[in-house]
């Protein structure tokens, strides 16, 4: 393992295919950062089971989807460490040790937990696995001694928790074993869904997937939320909050065309159909090479999987160093 580069740690739960929101929000940055940093990308299959314990095939199948999605956007499995959580059981061991440093009250007030419990209507019957999830994530981060964790605003508390727990552990045993990570802000952004919701999200059913075919893509683009107050193509339209134009800004490389469309839209000189037809072409141009690479990934999936398994082994060795230092500090090392 390269020790000269700073370590970045991120991950995804394998619960579905990745979409444009993931691309804008995190994947494109992971690709950019994989040269400069020692990048750890974890497939959080154990945590995905929390919501899907009765449907393990779903999680197992989605590991493959995730690997193909990663490959298709340009994540290089020889640069970034892509690994599977369940192959690094030290994470669970570290989690148990960390759990002494967090109170039940603290977890009950955790904003992410509160929001998710309300969304899933689980306040009255919270599975323990769901409740301790924030601490388990701290173990993910601390086990590889991450320097940086790229997060959007909503995930910032996770990094703060990891820092606090690391500090408490170190000060309690007067050691310097757990490394305090820092949040890397500003690289995570939200892309709105096709329905105009601020976030593209599988559960909202408003996604364009990286692996959508042209027909699906076209259908979705023609349902994209534009300016609801505009009835006729001759009415002056609004650009702000108009999802079609937000997508144009992100994905259409022909900036002149976008400026011309915006100008005519504001003047009431272009219809939604032309805006969307051009958006379809832009997105097709953007997605074609990604879908091409996905086919490549499909063909060499066994090879990619075996790389992921051997990387997981390396990460596991790395994590066992952390475990061993922690055990020494807690006087439970007997070897």
Task: Write out the residues near ligand TRP by the rule CB under 6 A.
Answer: 9-13, 44, 47, 137, 140-141, 149
* Minimum separation from the CB atom of position 186 to ligand TRP (A): 16
Q: Using CB atoms, what's the residue nearest to ligand TRP? A: 11
- CA dihedral (226, 230, 235, 241) in degrees, to 10, reads -40
Give the residue with the Cβ less far from ligand TRP, 12 or 69: 12
Looking at beta carbons only, is 136 or 248 nearer to ligand TRP? 136
Nearer to ligand TRP, 44 or 82 (CB): 44
As to burial, measured by CB atoms within 10 angstroms (0-12 exposed, 13-18 middle, 19+ buried), residue 198 is exposed
The dihedral region occupied by 74, where left means phi > 0, alpha psi between -120 and 50, and beta the remainder, is left
Decide if 101 contacts 168 (C-beta within 8 A).
yes
Tokens for 261, please give them: 């469309």
How many Cβ atoms are within 10 Å of 72's Cβ, its own excluded? 23
Sequence-ordered alpha helix ranges (H) in 36-103? 45-52, 56-73, 90-98
Q: How far is the CB of 15 from ligand TRP (least distance, A)?
A: 8
- 13 vs 262, which CB is nearer to ligand TRP? 13
Residues with Cβ within 8 Å of 96's Cβ and at least 6 positions away in sequence, in order, are: none
Which of 45, 72 has the CB closer to ligand TRP?
45
Considering the complex, what minimum distance in angstroms separates the CB of residue 7 from ligand TRP? 12
Q: Cβ of 115: how many Cβ atoms within 10 Å? A: 11
Q: How far apart are CB 324 and ligand TRP at their closest, in Å?
A: 22
Cβ closest to ligand TRP, residue 22 vs residue 276:
22
The Cα-based distances of 72 to 18, 42, 128 in angstroms read 11, 17, 36
Min dist. Cβ of residue 63 to ligand TRP (A): 13
Q: Smaller CB distance to ligand TRP: residue 87 or 272?
A: 87
* Cα pseudo-dihedral 130, 136, 137, 143, rounded to 10: -170
Output the smallest distance, CB 48 to ligand TRP, in A.
8
What is the token pair recorded at 276?
């969307």
Nearest distance from C-beta of residue 258 to ligand TRP, angstroms: 32
């Amino acid at each position: 393992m390269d020790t000269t580069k700073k370590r970045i740690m991120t991950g995804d739960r394998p619960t579905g295919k990745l979409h444009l929101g993931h691309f804008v929000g995190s994947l494109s940055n992971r690709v950019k950062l994989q040269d400069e940093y020692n990048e750890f990308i974890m497939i959080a299959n154990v945590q995905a089971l929390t919501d899907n314990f009765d449907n393990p095939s779903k999680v197992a199948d989605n590991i493959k989807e995730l690997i193909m999605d990663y490959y298709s956007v340009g994540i290089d499995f020889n640069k970034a460490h892509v690994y599977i959580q369940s192959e690094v059981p030290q994470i669970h061991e570290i989690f148990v040790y960390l759990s002494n440093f967090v109170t039940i009250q603290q977890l009950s007030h955790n904003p992410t937990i509160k929001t998710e419990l309300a969304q899933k209507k689980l306040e009255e019957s919270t599975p323990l696995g769901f409740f301790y999830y924030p601490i388990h994530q701290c173990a993910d981060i601390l086990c590889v001694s991450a320097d940086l964790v790229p997060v959007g605003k909503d995930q910032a508390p996770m990094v703060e928790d990891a820092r606090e727990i690391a500090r408490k552990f170190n000060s309690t045993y007067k050691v310097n074993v757990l490394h305090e990570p820092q949040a890397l802000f500003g690289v995570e952004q939200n892309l709105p869904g096709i329905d105009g919701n601020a976030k593209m999200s599988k559960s909202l059913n408003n996604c364009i997937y990286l692996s959508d075919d042209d027909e699906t893509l076209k259908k979705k683009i023609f349902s994209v939320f534009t300016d609801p107050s505009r009835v006729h193509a001759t009415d002056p339209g609004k650009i702000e909050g108009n999802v079609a134009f937000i997508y144009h800004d992100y994905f259409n490389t022909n900036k002149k065309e976008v400026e011309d469309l915006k100008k005519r839209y504001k003047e009431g000189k272009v219809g939604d159909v032309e805006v969307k037809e051009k958006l379809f072409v832009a997105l097709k141009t953007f997605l074609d090479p990604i879908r091409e690479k996905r086919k490549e990934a499909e063909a060499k999936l066994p090879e990619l999987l075996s790389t992921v398994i051997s990387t997981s082994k390396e990460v596991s060795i790395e994590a066992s160093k952390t475990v061993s230092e922690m055990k020494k500090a807690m006087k439970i090392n007997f070897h």
